[in-house]
C-alpha cells in the first residue's frame, strides 16, 4: 500500500530492510550502538565492519534520537541508527520517545540530503512496543513530517518483516488516508 502526500510517497512493503536500495535505511539500534539482534544484527551483518567502526565514534545514542553512518556493504549509502523506547506500560513517555525516534531520523535524513529512506518497525520486537500502537505513531509521524517539510523527501518506505506488521501499518495508513 502507498499514499502520496505532495511529491512524497509513503509506502508499506514486506521484506528485508538490508536489501533496500533507498538512500538510507534506519536501524532500530540500542543506546550503546553496539549491534545486537533483530534488525540491528541483520544490518550490521549485511553492512560489514565499517558500520560498527563509525558507530564507535559516537558516545552511544539516547532514546528518541538518531545518528548517521555509512551504509558499508549495503545498497543504501547511509544507515540512520535510532533508539526506540523499551515499552513498559505506556505511561513512561514511550509514545513521545517513539515519535521522536522517527522524527529525529527524518530530520537527520533531510539534513544530509537524503531523498529516500526505509524504516523498520521500531521498538516492536525485543523492546515490546504493541504493534498497532507503534504503527499508528510511525505512520502519523511520517505524514506530519511530510506535511511540514514539503518536497524534502521523495520516498518514505516502511519495510516490514511480518504479515502482522504489514497489516498493522496498513490499518494505520488507511485511517490517516481517509
The confidence score (pLDDT) of residue 175 equals 93
What confidence category does residue 106 fall into, taking pLDDT thresholds of 50, 70 and 90?
very high
Average pLDDT, whole number, for the chain?
97
For residue 83, the 8-state DSSP code is -
pLDDT at 114: 98
- For 69, the 3-state DSSP assignment is strand
Q: What residue ranges define each of the domains in the chain, with the CATH number in brackets?
A: 2-177 (3.40.220.10)
Which stretches of the chain are assigned E, i.e. beta strand? Answer: 2-5, 8-14, 24-28, 66-70, 78-82, 116-119, 155-160
Q: Of 16, 23, 40, 73, which one is the catalytic site residue?
A: 40
40 is catalytic: yes
Distance CA 36, CA 112 (A): 26
Among 125, 136, 34, which Cα is nearest to 81's?
Answer: 34
Residue 5 CB contacts under 8 Å (≥ 6 apart), including other chains = 143, 146, 147
- Give the global pTM: 0.97
Q: How much is the pLDDT for 83?
A: 98
N- to C-terminal Cα separation, the chain? 14
| Rounded distance between C-alpha atoms, residue 67 and residue 27, angstroms | 10
Work out the pLDDT band at 176, boundaries 50, 70, 90.
confident
Amino acid at each position: 500500500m502507498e499514499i502520496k502526500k505532495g511529491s512524497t510517497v509513503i509506502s508499506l512493503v514486506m521484506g528485508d530492510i538490508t536489501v533496500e536500495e533507498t538512500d538510507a535505511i534506519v536501524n532500530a539500534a540500542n543506546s550503546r550502538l553496539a549491534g545486537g539482534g533483530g534488525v540491528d544484527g541483520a544490518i550490521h551483518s549485511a553492512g560489514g565492519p565499517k558500520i560498527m567502526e563509525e558507530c564507535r565514534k559516537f558516545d552511544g545514542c539516547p532514546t528518541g534520537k538518531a545518528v548517521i553512518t555509512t551504509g558499508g556493504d549495503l545498497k543504501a549509502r547511509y544507515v540512520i541508527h535510532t533508539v526506540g523506547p523499551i515499552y513498559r506500560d505506556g505511561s513512561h513517555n514511550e509514545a513521545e520517545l517513539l515519535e521522536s525516534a522517527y522524527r529525529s531520523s527524518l530530520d537527520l535524513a533531510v539534513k544530509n540530503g537524503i531523498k529516500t529512506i526505509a524504516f523498520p518497525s521500531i521498538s516492536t520486537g525485543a523492546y515490546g512496543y504493541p504493534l498497532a500502537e507503534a504503527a499508528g505513531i510511525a505512520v502519523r509521524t511520517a505524514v506530519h513530517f511530510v506535511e511540514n517539510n514539503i518536497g524534502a523527501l521523495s520516498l518514505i518506505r516502511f519495510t516490514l518483516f511480518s504479515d502482522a506488521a504489514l497489516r498493522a501499518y496498513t490499518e494505520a495508513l488507511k485511517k490517516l488516508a481517509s
